[in-house]
Structure 1
Amino acid sequence: MERIQATLDPFGGRFLVHGAPAMEVLEGAWTTALLIIRFPTMDRARAWYDSDAYQRLVPLPTRHVPGDVLLVDGVGPDCDPSATAALLRAARP
């Protein structure tokens, strides 16, 4: 963990959530820690993940901490949940 920030810096990555010790599960059954890292773009996130610097660190947590890694395209400040719901309904057969 001590070395990860140095791999994030060149790609603009910053932790938003790191371990979430005060996390409260309200629905479902979450059993692991949560890390959320923000990047300026999906391309920068992919470039970080594929970088030699990060790939050298990948074996360390995967040997000791079970979990999943996801890239998720977030929403901007103009996100309108009602418009998104309407688009999803319109796309259904």
Structure 2
Amino acid sequence: MTAYGIAHLRTTSEHDDILEYLERIQATLDPYGGRFVIHGGPVTVVEGSWPGTLVAIAFPSMTQVREWYDSPAYRAILPLRTKHLDGDVIMIEGVDPDTHDSAAMAAALRARR
């Protein structure tokens, strides 16, 4: 099942460390099948507020997201980002678009009440 590493970065910076992080991150993703699906860019806010930007990286599985994040290669560059950008990072498993049914999910939630 596809899983994602998602970062909501509330601040942005063009610090030299951030540029180095950007130059080096793909090499840390490749062994784990990670690929950017969202990497910054303009955001159209239609409800609430959204300070900052969004980054989403897709991986073949949750195991691979965790292994990438804990890998020595990624840990070596992580401080380049964390010293200069404020934000939140999560890992989350996706749903199977061929079988996910929101109505069935609602029915199961109702049944638990």
Q: Normalized against structure 2, the TM-score is what?
A: 0.76
Higher-strand-fraction structure: 2
2:106 equivalent to 1:88: no
1:83 Cα shift?
A: 1.1
- Structure scoring higher RCO (CA < 8 A, sep ≥ 6) equals 2
After superposition, residues 1-93 of structure 1 pair within 5 angstroms as 1-19=22-40, 21-77=41-97, 78-92=99-113
After superposing on structure 2, the runs of 4+ consecutive aligned residues of structure 1 that deviate more than 3 Å are none
Query: Using the alignment, how far apart are the partners of 1:44 and 1:15 within structure 2?
Result: 14
Alpha-carbon RMSD: 1.0
Query: What 5-or-longer segments of structure 2 have no aligned partner?
Result: 1-21
Q: Normalized against structure 1, the TM-score is what?
A: 0.91
Query: What 5-or-longer segments of structure 1 have no aligned partner?
Result: none
Identity of aligned residues (%): 54
